[in-house]
Structure 1
């Protein structure tokens, strides 16, 4: 077996606005395993400025992984605790290898079968939320109208930059659509202060918002725990999970904050195995979760979607990001209405 990696810069079709700034491109890394003339790909979805493994020696660590690929996935994963995006890229490539190694036909390394399910076979779709990026009021309204026209019944709106305008958009949406007609989720990306968040939570409750992701910046555990204990609407942890590597620390964080939901982004929390450690902590505390992509290319999104499908999700998932880039890889994933499918 031979392993190599290559950086790849994804270009956004249109700038994506968040409370952390506007995104026009995203660097990612494609890991390639070669065995018996076949190639198996995994995406190490580094997220600059957000990933715990956003370090100057990232490419050196990837080269070390390639030089020691014979150690196997179990040993490598354990030795990469502080490199979650590399953990996930390795999981993808090794899963593609193990699932397809003895099959007669394997000619699509960009879209490998990874986990057996009705979704994998193109027989069943998964409900996803429509993602609305930040921008001026007209731009946000345009995005919302597009998603409503496509049939989405769950919309997630990025907030935390201009709350007054964002609140008016949410208020108008709720006046037009009841909670039964349209589920509204908001994602603050840590955009509010503790005092601001307490006011915003009350305003969101009046609009019957489903949930808010990360109302204040990660790392303020005591304040987040207080918000979760008294919030009038569910709070979901997102960035709060980044950089928590050990299983016992994950359980301690969940038990301390006691959020209503947890958002899992495999590229940021150690891939499938790292996500499952968070899920165990959630299950132990009676907390629900959903899976969200983190601006991966279609290679990573294919893996996240197939894995999510075997969890039998009941809520809308955050997996509709495959159409964001002008130079994405070929894919069998397709959004039809508010559902994500994998074409046969």
Structure 2
């Protein structure tokens, strides 16, 4: 019979991670263990990590809901779970709990592949494929941001993503100007992420000013669910716009299709924890490809358990794009893993061991 349990783990940031929604100092995640009672020594591990201020299932009773969903799945008394496909397991979780869906999908695929943190059988997991990633610059005082920029450039990142919208806009422009004085767009790709910090009234003016820095793209310049304003910006902006928060909460194929048809964005950003897992993310990829919309995948502050799963999924569909998968070094108490950043690429090094998870024995 299919059995499940979970354990909470609170990740502690090494610094105050600034966003336009405030600073983060800790991030609670829930590890989900899945096994067949006939062979309890083999278990899959998933991670449900709803993000405060973004996830539709970040709510006071999240743990209670997770416990109830796990109990409901166990009550089905699923015999011979290896015969099930991922979509059948995924559909056991209500669509309104995307982080839990992702965690259940992850645990199931890990279990099905032997319980060794192998989510997909691909070259990334074998250590033969590296994924290009951007260097992320968190919001904060100008000096702190400048320090991060110098560090990422010194490490050899060819793509820098800077979060903007928390400090004075002119100071943010000065930071971008400083990078461009030293590196051309051919040498360093610049992305910015506004997290919806601009108003529809002043967004275009700010985008025009930002365009002097040869930016690759800007993520979510205005808050989501302002479809007419976002469509207009996508048409008029001198910088290609990437939708991020706009995608959250769009659970059906019809909702996803309508969003892309109305706004017609150049790019979309895909975060499996926020969108509902592998199946939901693959739907977005297929819809984007049919409309010639660019896309890349980004983690959403998961621990290395979730990051590993997202990276393996990314490798299944990667087309040489630079992704946002470098969150592993943010925490004091992350889970030690074979994931390693080599210059500006994420690598899985199979000879390295996974640290045992806190709370329960695998």
User: For the structure 1 residues 75 and 63, does the alpha-carbon distance in structure 2 shift closer, same or farther, using more than 3 Å as the test?
Assistant: farther
Instruction: Give 1:195 deviation, angstroms.
Output: 2.0
Q: Does 1:54 align with 2:58?
A: yes
- 2:252 maps to 1:246: yes
Q: Give TM-score scaled by structure 1 length.
A: 0.94
Q: Is the contact between residue 220 and residue 242 of structure 2 (CA under 8 Å) also seen in structure 1?
A: yes
What does 1:130-149 align with in structure 2 at a 5 Å threshold? 130-149=135-154
Are the counterparts in 2 of residues 127 and 317 from structure 1 also a CA contact under 8 Å?
yes
Aligned residue for 2:44, secondary structure, equals strand
Trace 1:151-166 onto structure 2 (pairs within 5 A): 151-161=156-166, 162-166=168-172
Contact residue 65 and residue 76 of structure 1 kept, 8 A: no
Query: 1:296 is paired with a residue of what secondary structure?
Result: coil
Find the counterpart in structure 2 of residue 43 from structure 1.
47
Q: Is this contact kept in 2: 1:141–1:169, CA < 8 A?
A: yes
SS for the counterpart of 1:28 is: strand
Aligned length, in residue pairs: 335
Deviations 1:190-223 (A, max 9, x none): 0111122101111122211000000001111111
- Is contact 2:44–2:112 with CA below 8 Å preserved after alignment? no
State the Cα distance separating 1:75 from its structure 2 match: 4.2
Q: Secondary structure at the match of 2:174?
A: helix
Q: Which residue of 2 aligns with 1:103?
A: none
For 1:314 and 1:196, the matched residues in 2 are separated by: 34
Change (3 A) 1:168 1:189: same
Gaps of 5+ in 1: 101-105
CA distance in 2 between counterparts of 1:124 and 1:65 reads 36
Q: Per-residue deviation at 1:237?
A: 0.3
2:79 counterpart residue number: none
Question: CA RMSD for the aligned pairs?
Answer: 1.3
Q: How far 1:153 moved relative to its partner?
A: 0.7
**1:26-105, aligned counterparts within 5 Å?**
26-35=27-36, 36=39, 37-70=41-74, 71=76, 74-78=87-91, 79-100=93-114
Q: Deviations over 1:258-282 (max 9, x none)?
A: 1110000000001111111111221
Q: Does 1:335 align with 2:341?
A: yes
Aligned to 2:216: 210
2:18 matches 1:17:
yes
CA-to-partner distance for each residue in 1:305-331, whole Å, 9 max, x for gaps? Answer: 011011123111000001100001121
**Residue in 1 that maps onto 2:119:** 114
Residues 271, 298 of structure 2: 8 Å contact kept: yes
In the TM superposition, residue 99 of structure 1 has moved relative to its aligned partner by 1.4
Aligned ranges 1:304-343 → 2 under 5 Å? 304-343=310-349
Gaps of 5+ in 2: 77-83, 351-362
* Distance in 1, Cα, partners of 2:160 & 2:251: 31
What does 1:232-243 correspond to in 2, within 5 Å? 232-243=238-249
Moved over 6 A (4+): none
Could you say which residue in structure 1 is the equivalent of 2:185? 179
Secondary structure, counterpart of 2:153 in structure 1: helix
Question: Aligned partners of 2:201, 2:189: CA distance in 1, in Å?
Answer: 26
Tell me, yes or no, if the aligned pair for 1:27 and 1:48 is still in contact at 8 Å: no
In the alignment, which of 107, 125, 128 is matched to residue 123 of structure 1? Answer: 128
